[in-house]
């Protein structure tokens, strides 16, 4: 297929590489062209703006950083909505606000366009290996049209209902991850002070009821002092803030998630480590 892709960050790069490996023709746009060099070297074509990345493609995907970035690439000058046609399916994969996904859906439908919100989970490893889990909201018919394409980089695709429900599912996912990240950090801090072999601790905990994705994937990185981002800490903080905003709208109290947000605010806002990976949370205990 012919695919337009806006956003060549850590996750987007892995997804685009898998699309290229599967034989698709991919045209990309990124705010900083240098960050797209890897996929350009692998065969992707460059577009000068989101509209140019949209034109003449079957599917247009986007994965950027923040809700305001989503608004810019869709509604801004040379935006996606200005160039899209009714023959295309737009796939908004940024983890963003459910309300924004619903607004995009309304505005797209008014123009006769087709859009789904489809955030993913699995980090840089999942993007690279093509094993992401996708959470989808929008018209199920639109999803079914492009499911074979989505399976080229996703091992699981879950449909949750109308526009915005994919984003709500991603918020639930991030709430769960908040618990595993804080749990892993405090577990390692405790084990270190207790003078335990941390590699053996990770191996032991991963073999029992404490097993979880964060520990298996980020624990070894922490022991190597590797804080390169599989997922940026600043983006995770954004997600936790959105989750708590949505919970407040639903009159739901999430104290543990509030505590995780507070810790990530220290990491990102006070220590200035937002461009590190989420595993850098351990820095609050280790340095």
Mapped onto helix, strand or coil, the DSSP state of residue 4 is strand
Query: What percentage of the chain carries pLDDT values higher than 90?
Result: 98
Alpha-carbon separation of residue 53 from 41, 44, 198, 279 (angstroms)? 17, 11, 47, 33
Under the banding of pLDDT at 50, 70 and 90, the label for residue 36 is very high
User: For strand 132-138 and strand 59-62, is the pairing parallel, antiparallel, or unpaired?
Assistant: unpaired
Q: How far apart are CA 153 and CA 130, in angstroms?
A: 4
Chain mean pLDDT for the chain: 97
**Residues linked to residue 115 through DSSP beta bridges, in sequence order:** 90
Q: How far apart are CA 8 and CA 93, in angstroms?
A: 12
Q: What sign does the CA torsion over 89, 101, 237, 261 have?
A: negative
Query: What's residue 102's pLDDT?
Result: 98
Query: What's residue 259's pLDDT?
Result: 98
Mean pLDDT of 11-16: 97
Query: What's residue 183's pLDDT?
Result: 98
Q: How far apart are CA 128 and CA 82, in angstroms?
A: 31
Q: How far apart are CA 91 and CA 171, in angstroms?
A: 18
Structure tokens at 123: 């980090």
Mean pLDDT of 48-57: 98
- pLDDT at residue 56 tops 90: yes
Query: What's residue 65's pLDDT?
Result: 93
Structure tokens at 262: 């507070």
* CB half-sphere exposure, 183, CA atoms < 13 A: 19
Cα separation of the two ends of the chain? 49
- Active site includes 249? no
Could you say which of 33, 55, 140, 170 is catalytic? 170
| Residue whose entry in the numeric block shows the structure tokens 């461009």 | 275
Query: What's residue 221's pLDDT?
Result: 96
Query: What's residue 78's pLDDT?
Result: 96
Mean pLDDT of 235-239: 97
Instruction: Dump strand ranges (E) for 232-286.
Output: none
Query: What's residue 281's pLDDT?
Result: 98
Query: What's residue 272's pLDDT?
Result: 97
Mean pLDDT of 228-240: 95
Query: What's residue 46's pLDDT?
Result: 98
Residues 181-223: pLDDT tens digits? 999 999 999 999 999 999 999 999 999 999 999 999 999 999 9
Q: What sign does the CA torsion over 87, 49, 13, 100 have?
A: negative
Residues 138-155: pLDDT tens digits? 999 999 999 999 999 999
Residues 57-114: pLDDT tens digits? 999 999 999 999 999 999 999 999 999 999 999 999 999 999 999 999 999 999 999 9
Mean pLDDT of 22-33: 97
The pTM score is 0.95
- Would you call 31 exposed, middle or buried from its count of C-beta atoms within 10 A (0-12, 13-18, 19+)? middle
- pLDDT at residue 287 tops 90: no
Under the banding of pLDDT at 50, 70 and 90, the label for residue 129 is very high
Alpha-carbon separation of residue 55 from 6, 71, 80, 83 (angstroms)? 12, 18, 9, 6
**Cβ 160 vs Cβ 137: under 8 Å:** yes
**Residues linked to residue 27 through DSSP beta bridges, in sequence order:** 4, 45
Alpha-carbon separation of residue 140 from 14, 146, 148, 165, 172 (angstroms)? 25, 10, 14, 12, 21
CA angle 227, 229, 233 (to 5 degrees): 90
Q: How far apart are CA 60 and CA 166, in angstroms?
A: 17
């Amino acid at each position: 297929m012919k695919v337009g892709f806006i956003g060549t960050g850590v996750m987007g790069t892995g997804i685009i590489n898998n699309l290229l490996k599967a034989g698709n023709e991919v045209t990309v746009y990124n705010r900083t062209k240098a960050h797209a060099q890897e996929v350009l070297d692998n065969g992707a074509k460059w577009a000068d703006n989101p509209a140019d990345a949209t034109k003449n493609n079957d599917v247009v995907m986007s994965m950027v950083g923040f809700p305001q970035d989503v608004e810019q690439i869709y509604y801004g000058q040379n935006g996606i909505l200005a160039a899209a046609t009714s023959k295309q399916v737009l796939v908004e994969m940024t983890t963003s606000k459910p309300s924004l996904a619903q607004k995009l859906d309304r505005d797209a439908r008014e123009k006769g366009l087709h859009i789904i919100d489809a955030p993913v989970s699995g980090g840089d490893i999942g993007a690279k290996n093509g094993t992401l889990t996708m959470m989808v909201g929008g018209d199920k018919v639109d999803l079914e049209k492009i499911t074979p394409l989505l399976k080229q980089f996703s091992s699981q695709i879950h449909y949750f209902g109308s526009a915005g429900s994919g984003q709500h599912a991603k918020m639930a996912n991030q709430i769960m991850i908040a618990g595993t990240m804080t749990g892993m950090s405090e577990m390692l801090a405790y084990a270190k002070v207790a003078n335990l072999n941390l590699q053996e601790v990770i191996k032991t905990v991963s073999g029992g009821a404490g097993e979880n994705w964060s520990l298996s994937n980020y624990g070894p990185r922490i022991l190597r002092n590797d804080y390169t981002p599989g997922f940026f800490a600043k983006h995770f903080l954004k997600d936790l803030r959105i989750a708590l905003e949505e919970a407040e709208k639903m009159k739901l109290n999430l104290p543990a998630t509030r505590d995780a947000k507070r810790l990530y605010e220290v990491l990102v806002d006070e220590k200035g480590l937002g461009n590190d990976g989420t595993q850098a949370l351990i820095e609050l205990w280790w340095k």
